[in-house]
Amino acid sequence: YGKLIIFILVALCFILYSKVQQQSGDEAPPVRAAALRGHARDRYNAYAESENEIARPATVSPYEQSIQLDLEKQKIGLGEQGASVHLSGKAKERGDAIYKKIALNEELSEQLSYNRSVGDHRNPLCLAQHFDSSTLPTASVIVIFYNEPYSVLLRTVHSTLITCNQQALKEIILVDDGSDNPELGGKLDYYIRTRTPPGKVTVLRLKNRLGLIRARLAGARIATGDVLIFLDAHCEGNVGWCEPLLHRIKESRTSVLVPIIDVIDANDFQYSTNGYKSFQVGGFQWNGHFDWINLPEREKQRQRRECKQEREICPAYSPTMAGGLFAMDRRYFWEVGSYDEQMDGWGGENLEMSFRIWQCGGTIETIPCSRVGHIFRDFHPYKFPNDRDTHGINTARMALVWMDEFINIFFLNRPDLKFHADIGDVTHRVMLRKKLRCKSFAWYLKNIYPEKFVPNADVVGWGKVKSVSSNLCLDDLLQNNEKPYNVGLYPCGKVLQKSQLFSFTNSQVLRNELSCATVQHSDSPPYRVVMVPCMENDEFNEQWKFEHQHLIHSNTGMCLDHKGLKTVDDAQMAPCDPNSETQRWTIEH
């Protein structure tokens, strides 16, 4: 019996012990179970995936702590309504230091709420517009980024969630173009999972950096909304910026739309506009760069003729677009050739798309009731793949496909690109142009951008303006074209180069691409030749006469003269003398 009792006691002890064991083994699960509820479950999963420590009781993800700290750093009300903010003390020092490095005040960005509003800068006429959300097409907003400051990217996401119509906004697709900034990895994923509405925001990771063109294509491929809206990763919208874009696409599916792009200062984050009364549209320069132009008078007349609303809030045809912020019907995006996927890095895709849209039957329009701010930086915070001039190379690809004979003017401006080895093959894009039966570049210039000055069209002569008696040519020394500048006389180049390219137009104007020749006001010599920004209408520019090889300025009656000038000097005028050898000039073509 004694042995039996001992056996039973031992057995009981064993059973009891194993029960206790089981319970203590359950000790962790209650904590875990709690962590698995709702968002906490995701938190646990994120933690488990990222740290690979399933065994240890789930505390909070280290991302959670880091995000909490981020949120604590943000000061309510700072920069609200797009006000400028100036840091002081240590924070200012940190801000200045990072600004020097990445051309953006990341320290300040981290202190501004992700949800700050930038105010409503729309034309008051826009407030009378009402859109029925239930009938608007849906939108996929695609934001591509490469090592964008984390807080700036998140502000772009939150701003979109807040300011773009909830019902119409189907998804936001963030495309990571191979960033190596660690904050943009697991922490970003975790943030999106725990802090944005379920299913709204997706992060698409590209294995390598593919450049912004292919990154946009990757985003577009997975998008499911009716309309694609592309944004740079440093944008903040005004209220109601999505609706008018979506509405216009519903009305006209081959219209490619841009909002008015306002400026968010990269240093103090102030949101600024040119007022609501006027805005600029896109132009281009013959060197292949995008530029802003005033809305041409001709286009205002078209708006008055064709648009039923008040003109100021009518869609405005834009010869080109800046490229970063635009909305487009998703199917039309693919039909009309999406992008040239052989374009690398950054640049050129915007003019390519602009010319293609217009030449192939679409339109590019600025929608005045849609306003979005963009952070403009003084320099690129990143390097280009293999340090190549991807802008130049991409632009040459564009020119080969879309510019026809006008490519000569482009190469005149960019001789370095004429035989560049990296341009590659463009046959498939030429075939696309054929397939879509697109119109010529001459058609585009005549009908879409007649204000654009073509150096060798409607001219008496063009090319080098050379002295008959010496080897001196007019030369703008590639000076800034936005301000008046003195034009020089310089030894003529063997071949025509951009700085010596001048035109004498049918309306008697001596000019280059952007500037027109005038004579500086003065009571005594020297009477210098000054180049001033040309008027849109060539007839309003100052006139000259080209007679018996003399270049005569009509207003002063004086002649271009290089008498007594050193080989490198400002061009000057003198009283006309029919016998003077130093007043005779030839125009190359």
Q: Can you give the binding site for ligand LR7, defined by CB under 6 A?
A: 144-146, 148, 177, 209, 211-212, 215, 232-233, 261, 290, 322-325, 345-347, 349-350, 374, 380
Give the one entry of ligand LR7, Mn ion, none that residue 189 binds, where binding means its C-beta sits below a cut-off of 5 to 8 angstroms depending on kind: none
Number of residues counted as binding Mn ion (CB under 5 A): 1
**Which residues are CB-neighbours of 381 under 8 A, at least 6 positions away?**
101, 102, 103, 104, 147
Cβ 177 to ligand LR7 shortest distance, Å = 3
- Rounded distance, CA 348 to CA 389, Å? 11
CB nearer ligand LR7, residue 288 or residue 488 = 288
CB nearer ligand LR7, residue 148 or residue 365 = 148
3-state SS string over 507-525? CCCEECCCEEEEECCCCCC
Chain position whose Cβ is nearest to ligand LR7: 324
Give the one entry of ligand LR7, Mn ion, none that residue 380 binds, where binding means its C-beta sits below a cut-off of 5 to 8 angstroms depending on kind: ligand LR7
Give the one entry of ligand LR7, Mn ion, none that residue 228 binds, where binding means its C-beta sits below a cut-off of 5 to 8 angstroms depending on kind: none
Cβ 386 to ligand LR7 shortest distance, Å = 12
Give the one entry of ligand LR7, Mn ion, none that residue 177 binds, where binding means its C-beta sits below a cut-off of 5 to 8 angstroms depending on kind: ligand LR7
Give the one entry of ligand LR7, Mn ion, none that residue 212 binds, where binding means its C-beta sits below a cut-off of 5 to 8 angstroms depending on kind: ligand LR7
Give the one entry of ligand LR7, Mn ion, none that residue 149 binds, where binding means its C-beta sits below a cut-off of 5 to 8 angstroms depending on kind: none
Pseudo-torsion of CA 455, 461, 463, 468, nearest 10°? Answer: -160
- Rounded distance, CA 523 to CA 281, Å? 40
Give residue 466's Cα distance to chain centre.
Answer: 40
Cβ 211 to ligand LR7 shortest distance, Å = 5
CB nearer ligand LR7, residue 211 or residue 319 = 211
**Which residues are CB-neighbours of 157 under 8 A, at least 6 positions away?**
114, 143, 172, 174, 192, 196, 201
Q: What's the Cα-to-Cα distance from 521 to each of 396, 528, 529, 541, rounded to whole Å?
A: 42, 8, 9, 16
Q: What's the farthest any 2 CA atoms get from each other in the chain?
A: 146
Give the one entry of Mn ion, ligand LR7, none that residue 215 binds, where binding means its C-beta sits below a cut-off of 5 to 8 angstroms depending on kind: ligand LR7
H/E segment holding residue 367:
strand 363-376
CB nearer ligand LR7, residue 44 or residue 326 = 326
Tell me which residues in 467-526 interact with Mn ion (CB under 5 A).
Answer: none
CB nearer ligand LR7, residue 392 or residue 463 = 392
Task: Give the interface segment with Mn ion, choosing from 189-197, 228-236, 335-343, 413-421 (CB under 5 A).
Answer: 228-236
Q: Give the strand pairing for 502-505 and 510-511.
A: antiparallel
Q: What's the Cα-to-Cα distance from 259 to each of 41, 244, 248, 316, 562, rounded to whole Å?
A: 40, 9, 12, 11, 50
CA atoms within 13 A on the CB side of 398: 27
Cβ 424 to ligand LR7 shortest distance, Å = 17
Chain position whose Cβ is nearest to Mn ion: 232
CB nearer Mn ion, residue 231 or residue 472 = 231
Tokens of 562: 């290089």
CB nearer ligand LR7, residue 283 or residue 362 = 283
Cβ 334 to ligand LR7 shortest distance, Å = 19
Cβ 202 to ligand LR7 shortest distance, Å = 16
On whether the CB atoms of residues 588 and 492 are closer than 8 A, the answer is no
Task: Give the interface segment with Mn ion, choosing from 224-232, 311-319, 343-351, 562-570 (CB under 5 A).
Answer: 224-232
Cβ 377 to Mn ion shortest distance, Å = 7
Cβ 324 to Mn ion shortest distance, Å = 5
Pseudo-torsion of CA 325, 290, 411, 493, nearest 10°? Answer: -160
Q: Give the strand pairing for 227-231 and 139-145.
A: parallel
Number of Cβ within a 10 Å radius of residue 7: 10
Nearest to 225 by CA among 144, 319, 340, 331: 331
Rule CB under 5 A: is residue 232 a binding residue for Mn ion? yes
- Rounded distance, CA 578 to CA 267, Å? 59
Give the one entry of ligand LR7, Mn ion, none that residue 323 binds, where binding means its C-beta sits below a cut-off of 5 to 8 angstroms depending on kind: ligand LR7
CB nearer Mn ion, residue 292 or residue 443 = 292
Cβ 84 to ligand LR7 shortest distance, Å = 20
CB nearer ligand LR7, residue 348 or residue 455 = 348
Binding site for Mn ion (CB under 5 A): 232
